[in-house]
Chain A
Amino acid sequence: MTTKQHPLRPLTRRPVLAGLASLAALSGVRLAHAADSGPEQLARGIAEITKGATVLPGRVKLELPELAENGNSVSMTIVVESPQSAADHVRTIHVISEKNPIADVVKFHIGPRAGRARVQSSIRLADTQRVVALAEMSDGRFWSGEASVIVALAACIDAG
């Protein structure tokens, strides 16, 4: 915007709208996710993965700390109660976030050769939020587990 105006002249509609439009364009990607993020993001993420299949709460223990000192790296352990046999096993564990810019965080593909359905990783959490883990079973059903994490910020933001 290159309109030159006297600094004390009241803002007219056009430059304000132009300004807002360019602001929206600049932050276009983030705005799209921001509008979605929250319970809608979780619901949409779950729907995209399960495609209407049955989702039962239980059997999935999603371990995340109640309070994360820094959202850049949060340790996560997921254990699914499953015999992990050829006939009955976890095929994939999907992890979805409520408030990250992207709902999908990570997917683990395991099988009977794993011996047990237990995986660990470190994930990023953009803000205090819920996280959901979906266990996709060999029979096509899904079990789910959930955790809530409070994400603290560093005391010195912009910490060099």
Chain B
Amino acid sequence: MALDKATVARIATLARIRVAEDELEPLAAELSGILDWVEQLMAVETDNVPPMTSVAEMTLPMRDDIVTDGDRQEAVLANAPRTGRGFFAVPKVVE
């Protein structure tokens, strides 16, 4: 499966990673190489095989829907690159 430049640019946008124009071509070749190798999966007969959803044979546990944590504003914000008035600060998103 060969990826073209436009496809790489599209998935880079989906992944929110800026990729410079001159990197798109080499990256497309690299990713295509990996996908070509992955193609061998298509040879496996899987018509009646369910996709694995859980590696361990167990049902996920239920718990009471109650608050068990919280009131840690300082700890939550401690690693943020920028904060203001007790919030995470980001570039303006509303004009």
| Pair from one complex | no
Interface residues of A (CB under 8 A from B): none
